Structure 1
Amino acid sequence: MARAGLDTHTLVLAAAELADEYGMEAVTLAALAAKLGVRSPSLYNHINGLAGLRTLMAVYGLEQLYEVISEATEGLSGEAAVHAMSQAYIGFTRAHPGLYQTTLKAPEQGDTALEAAGGKILSLIIQVISAFGLDEEGNLHAVRGLRSILHGFSTLEHQGGFGMPLDLNVTLTRLINTYIAGIRCMGSDADSLK
């Protein structure tokens, strides 16, 4: 019988806290059970092992990231939306480094919840990028580029890779300005790069 007050959402939130505080490597069923004051077998009433927990965490992380960037871009378009989305994305990775890490894995075939959560973010970013007049393929390349920039920036920051005494938010703003200048010319330059 499941313990009263213990449910899947509670497990995911507790696991996310562990991940943010200690890193994803620290998220084990034993650590989660200890955090919740239950025995490890009790967790199986709510999750399908560690792999199942990590998938649930990824879905939750993507949902939270979507909420953050959706709220940040509401009512904005073009450059302002790209900057707001980028700041929100980096803010999320700063606040939730472990949970963010769970969002990076591509969903396995048939993992509809993870596909749907990732798809919502992709659609939102495409909506923001579409202001720059790229075709469908160009939008996808631009999304990949932005994701690479933001993930690289957040990873370097989290790992202590920015040692110079410069404001990281200024660096991010300049980086996104450069990205925007690049996607403005993607439509005309794309064919010459093939």
Structure 2
Amino acid sequence: MMATRAGLDAEAIVQKAAELVDKGGLAPLSMATLASELGVRPPALYHYFAGLAGLRRQLSLLGLQEVSIQVGRAVQGKAGDDAVFALAYALRDFARAHPGLYEAASRAPDSEDREWQMAGQEVVATMIRALSAYQLSDAAARLAVRMLRSVVHGCVSLEYIDGFGLPNVNNETFESLLKALLDYLASHIAKTSV
């Protein structure tokens, strides 16, 4: 087994990788670039991870853990429309502050990876609890979560590339889409209570 640099551990490596992906995106990350940033040779990283795929998995887990904490705090003590707005803004704020980790956390987990699936399910469960005031069926709540994620992801992606091309429309667009989602939820409640 190759000697490792003093002070280098899996957590430090993942944190450095998170910094790199937040600056440059997930796709350009390589073991060679990361090793260079850490002042080690690339083979030293394989002591900690099963290659780039293993490192990306760890970034996904870290991103999901941080998203879970952030959205959990945002929705605590809130219900109904306030909870949906808090949830959406927390997710958008995380995506803006940590674009690489957000990208890693947004990836669907490997179907064989129980830990990764559980981390994703924890985030979804927090989001479903935030929707509890709407009294949705499990299927309808999961659809609402996918819709909310799509609103956030679409807006963040377009903002990132200046896709709207107009000044001061990002928040207006985001809030309008959230209100449309809330209208959908309200109409769903009206239909199921008849």
TM-score tier by shorter-chain length is: over 0.9
8 Å Cα contact 1:138/1:187 also seen in 2: no
| SS across alignment from 2:43 | helix
2:187 equivalent in structure 1? 185
How does the TM-score come out when normalised to structure 1? 0.92
Aligned to 1:176: 178
Letter in 1 for 2:132: S
Q: Which residue of 2 aligns with 1:86?
A: 88
Asked if residue 60 in structure 1 is aligned to residue 97 in structure 2, the reply is no
CA offset at residue 181 of structure 1?
0.9
Supply the AA of the counterpart residue of 2:13. L
- Matches of 1:47 and 1:40 in 2, distance apart? 11
* Structure 1 residues without counterparts, runs of 5 or longer: none
Specify the alignment match of 2:79 in structure 1. Answer: 77
Query: 2:140 is aligned with what amino acid?
Result: G
Moved more, 115-124 or 172-181: 172-181
C-alpha deviation, 1:188, in angstroms: 5.2
Give the CA RMSD over aligned residues. 1.5
Name the aligned partner's letter for residue 9 of structure 2. D
Shift of 1:170: 3.2
Secondary structure of the residue aligned to 2:77 is coil
Residue in structure 1 matching 2:115, options 113, 116, 129: 113
Question: How big is the shift at 1:187?
Answer: 4.5
Query: What's the secondary structure of 1:85's corresponding residue?
Result: helix
Shifted more, 169-178 versus 54-63: the winner is 169-178
Stretches of structure 2 that go unaligned for 5 or more consecutive residues are none
TM-score, reference length from structure 2: 0.92
Determine helix, strand or coil for the equivalent of 1:5.
coil
Tell me, what secondary structure is at the counterpart of 1:119?
helix
1:144 positional shift: 1.2
8 Å CA contact 2:74–2:90 kept in 1: the answer is: yes
The 5-angstrom pairing of residues 1-194 of structure 1 reads 1-187=3-189
Report how far residue 169 of structure 1 moved. Answer: 2.4
CA contact (8 A) 2:64 2:119 kept: yes
Residue-by-residue CA offset, 1:102-149 (whole Å, 9 max, x unaligned) = 112211122122111101100000001121111111111111111111
Check conservation: 2:64, 2:105, Cα contact below 8 A.
Answer: yes
Asked whether the 8 Å contact 2:79–2:132 carries over to 1, the reply is: no
Detail structure 1 runs of 4+ shifted over 6 Å in the superposition: none
1:18–1:26 Cα contact (<8 Å) kept = no
Amino acid at match of 2:88: S
Shift of the alpha carbon at 1:97? 0.8
Q: Is the 8 A contact 2:155 2:170 kept in 1?
A: no
Segment drifting more, 160-169 vs 49-58: 160-169
- How many Å apart are 1:186 and its aligned residue? 2.1
Q: CA deviation at 1:162?
A: 1.8
